[in-house]
Chain A
Amino acid sequence: MPVRPLNVGVIVKLEPDFSEGNVSYNPDGTLNRAETKNILGPHSAAATLAAFYCKVKYDARVAIGTMGPPIANQALKQAQIISNADELHLYSDRIFAGADTLATAEVLRLGVSRMNNGLGADIVISGHRASDGETGQTGPQTAWKLGYPFIGNVIDFQIDQENRSIHAKRFILLYGFYDVIEEIQAPLPVFISADPSYKPSFDTVSERLSLARNLNEARSKAENFEKYLQVYNSEALGADPRFVGLPGSPTIVYKVEKIPKAKAKRRVEFIDGNDTAQLDMAAEKLLQLMTEAPIK
């Protein structure tokens, strides 16, 4: 009996590029989103890699979705280069603005159901969390809304297509205690979040051949990624205005801390390693700095 093809959905997020020189702040210290360069966040990239793994290993169909303004399509293009995705979804509407994680999850739930020619997804993959003030709740909440079991911090997984189940390894860090690798078996459909350390490995000849083929395909697809892009507004998603955007967001923000503006104050001094006098001076300086440094 031929196995049912595997449909994968990934939800990603466009994030400000926090690497030096790319961040821009408003005068009041808040992030200037318009000026800051945006990239596919590292956590989303890990999720995308997990989808690529499904593509290479199980010949899966992959759809990638994101909620955000139209510029978010850049993140989708990046995600396509990584994963050789077949569909790129952008969920974009003014009324989605101001959404908290729950309202976002509602949009994503609807998005997932539109994925893969409306077949939805057997596995939905998200990143562990985003780096711009997200709390790691979007994934689990979307899973809850979809009614899928949720497996977090996945570092490795296999799919049994015949029995329609997943066997996943998840990494649990118990601070100050010890680390645990937990193995979980769950039926499909399932929602997993990829651990930031996730790295797929391809260990057989057929996987490596498929890897090479997919990398080539991804490159040529991404060259005209617009062809794969589908934009959905609230209406197209069939969203209930009460559950999306600001009205759908029960979260009360108690206090916002300003982003500590790190004004570059570093000064570089070069020291000739062969010159003992200069080395002495450097050691003294370090000692002084260390004794003066406030201990927090």
Chain B
Amino acid sequence: MVGIVIVSHSRLAAEGIRELAAQMAGPDLRIIACGGMEDGSIGTDAMRIQNALIEADSGDGVCAMVDLGSGIMSTETAIELLEFDDDHSDIQVRIADAPVLEGSVSAAVSASSGDSLEEVIAAAEEARGMKKLLD
């Protein structure tokens, strides 16, 4: 099953989004919140993200959901660190180009139903065009 990592500058934001997305997911989904720095302060840490990606992988790849700015850059850095990490260079990771909260909910539903990494990313990215107010 594809795993999901939620990256945010804020620990609380990442955990809150994880909580919401996990409600929609089956019990087998690996969905990891990776928010803030090791000491709890606001920010992103490429190495913490790298570890979260490893934890989320069960062999079918990982969908990374990211917030802004360094959320993206640190996740890209983490993916590069994995490529150079001999024990984990085979882990497939993709970043979804999607709003982090809505995209995480869609990705959780998709991953739980056994979709491939491509399909999970597509589901997350569909959230980009989701209308909230229907007239």
Co-assembled chains A and B: no
Q: Hey, which bits of chain A sit against chain B, CB under 8 A?
A: none
